[in-house]
Structure 1
Amino acid sequence: MKNIHSIEFYTGSKEELLPDFEKDFPYIASRAELDKYIGGYVPWHWHRTVELFYMESGSIEYDTPGGKILFPAGSGGMINPNVLHMTKAISQREKNIQLLHIFDVSLLAGEQGSRIEQKYIAPVITAPQIEVIPLFPGNAEEERILKLLAASFRLSSDEFGYEIKLREALTEIWLMLFELSCSMREKKGEHNKSNDKIKLMMIYIHEHYREKISILELAAAAYLSERECYRVFHDCLHMTPVEYITTYRLQIACQMLAKGQEPITVISHECGLGSSSYFGKVFREYAYCSPTEYRKKWQNSDM
């Protein structure tokens, strides 16, 4: 299991890049130490794989277009493929360990279009009303899944038959999730076109954040009117387009401050935030410290 302290993305996108993903066994296990992530959070992103996780310690908040869910230690859940989400540690003063299974559904379903995929996989991953399946102690059914989930992370890749044992464990968990999600699947849900539109506009921002971005240009990237652009951002990210643009620029600034030695004035212009005085003002509002203080904090940390 690989310890991770950061997340990688495809260039110009917020689709997560999974560098260790192999076609012959589309699966990776991660031990995410969220308290060591720059800023203590993972920004808005998505991936084409299933995310199955267990909170070993600490507490995190998952944000999706559907709302927020708090996951304390001992809880867990499943994030459906292509669902926009972000996570943040509730406290950076405590150890925050999240264990993750990231896998393509073909690991369980086999060949595309198989009977297993049609009967047990597709009904869950194609249900637009299912963003997250949360699992909490205290509910007998969910607790059984959590025990299996915690045990599945104890499998060692060095032991004989590891791949088969892992697939068997994930299949058993999936069947239980399938049954648990029955009531969620019965609720009516339609494909939310806003989900596709917001991704197009996010990609546009990630490619042009250094430049001045008008709402008209941003809306045009997703073939929307300005009014629809505002509505989609509100519905999906619970913020305005300008707020997201500024937040994204500040996130880039945080990465540059934590990892490099560029002067503050260079960073402010590189991130599209203008003068160093304006940058200092908005950065302090965002991070509750100056850019220089932020740099010292993260470059002196034990990441």
Structure 2
Amino acid sequence: MKEAKNGKTQIITGPSQRELKEHGSYQFPFLVSYERLSGYESGSFLWHWHREIELTLITKGNMIYQINDRQFCMKENDALFGNSSTLHSAHMADGKDCAYISVTFAPRLLYGYEGSLIQNKYTDPFLRPSALAAVHFDGSQIWHNDFVEGLRQIIKEDEEKQPFYEVKIQEFLLHLWLILLKHGLSEGTDGEEKGATHSLAAKHSMDEKNYERIRQMLSYIQENYAQKLELEEISHHVHICKSECCRIFKSYMKESLFDYLLKYRIEQSLPDVLAEKDTLTEIALRVGFTDSNYYSKVFRRIKGCSPREYRRRYHER
């Protein structure tokens, strides 16, 4: 993340929307972060991904969390498992702030070394985004409570940093993974392991291909949003026709490609809106709109107020 001109944080991503933030160190690839959605521009973070597994615990408020094509309404004390390399985003529920703790770690903390039996048998088969993207722990099942309690123990060990805390953290991570293997992750792969169908494996392969296409679309938008963008350019970038490009994006992301482009442009304009240094016309042109009237219309539709009202509300906080 980086701090914007207005003190808000933003997730920094590379060309494929992969988050560039370092999650711990090479020696111990593990990180606990204490976050609030109000710390991000407009109270949300946009689509991104990383190879680390992410565990999220809601400590206050509610949030709408989306992972790949699934959406979760999370409340206080809920937790969420987000698989490696999944696309994810989140925003406030009902416009109210949400505090949460994020635990991210590299899968190798589970399996130790490349080619190990643990990796080949118990981690790699379950790390595909198409196998199972996420698990929501909302207390509806007894084993959910066991998982959330284990997650709290990990956070506690990291906070207190008593002797051997790294060993204890790794022990708890393995404990949580075992819970997932027993109750959650196996749901996405049992059919394959039993050789039940070839169609399931084919669907997984197509899902992985389509999510890679979506990452490329997001990357192209990130790099070119300030220019005039045509659907033909984006579809050509991912080597598919225009209709298929729109269908794939809408099917997986639950919003149209054009709506995402507009939303991304508005989000990129927020620091300049709050800085009050440029006119609305200058801001609109800088983020890819053709005029300030259309920019203001889209801004109101997405944010529920005009750019000037947004600026006023921010400074009145």
Does the TM-score normalized on the shorter chain lie above 0.5? yes
CA shift at 1:300, angstroms? 5.0
Aligned counterpart, 1:183: 187
Q: Residue 41 in 1 paired to residue 44 in 2?
A: yes
Consecutive unaligned residues in structure 2, runs of 5 or more: 1-6, 192-199
Matched, 1:82 2:85: yes
Instruction: Out of 49-58 and 252-261, give the one that drifted further.
Output: 252-261
RMSD: 2.0
Using a 3 Å threshold, how does the CA distance of structure 1 residues 261 and 169 change in structure 2: closer, same or farther? farther
Is the contact between residue 51 and residue 81 of structure 1 (CA under 8 Å) also seen in structure 2? yes
Question: C-alpha offsets along residues 189-223 of structure 1, whole Å, 9 cap, x if unaligned?
Answer: 51212111111111111101111111111101101
Question: Which residue of the partner structure matches residue 227 of structure 1?
Answer: 243
| Larger mean Cα displacement after TM superposition, 23-32 or 182-191 | 182-191
Structure 1 residue 238: Cα displacement:
1.9
Which of 162, 175, 181 aligns to 1:172? It is 175
- TM-score calculated relative to the size of structure 1: 0.91
Structure 1 residues 196 and 57: alpha-carbon distance in aligned structure 2, compared to 1, 3 A threshold: same
Q: Calculate the TM-score normalised by the size of structure 2.
A: 0.87
Partner in structure 2 of residue 18 of structure 1 = 21
Is 1:107 aligned to 2:109, yes or no?
Answer: yes
- Write the distance in 2 (CA, Å) between the matches of 1:263 and 1:50: 42
Give the letter for the 1:128 counterpart: S
Q: Return the letter of the residue paired with 1:185.
A: T
Partners of 2:15 and 2:187 lie apart in 1 by 37
Instruction: Tell me which residue corresponds to 2:136.
Output: 134
Would the alpha carbon gap of residues 255 and 120 (structure 1) be closer, same or farther in structure 2, given more than 3 Å must change? farther
Deviation at 1:186, TM superposition (A): 1.9
Any stretches of 5+ residues in structure 1 without a counterpart?
none
Q: CA deviation at 1:127?
A: 5.9
- Post-superposition shift, 1:11? 3.9
Whole-Å Cα distance in 2 between the matches of residues 235 and 133 of structure 1? 20
- Deviation track 1:251-278 (CA, whole Å, cap 9, x = no partner) reads 1112432456333222111100121122
* Deviation of the 1:19 alpha carbon: 3.6
**Which shifted more, 224-233 or 6-15?**
6-15
Aligned residue identity for 2:153:
A
Give the number of the structure whose residues are more often helix, by fraction.
Answer: 2
1:161 shift after superposition: 1.4
Amino acid at match of 1:130: L
Q: Distance in 2 between matches of 1:185 and 1:247?
A: 35
Contact 1:6/1:38, CA 8 A, preserved across alignment: yes
CA offset at residue 37 of structure 1? 2.2
Match for 1:210 among 226, 240, 243?
A: 226
CA distance in 2, matches of 1:178, 1:9: 32
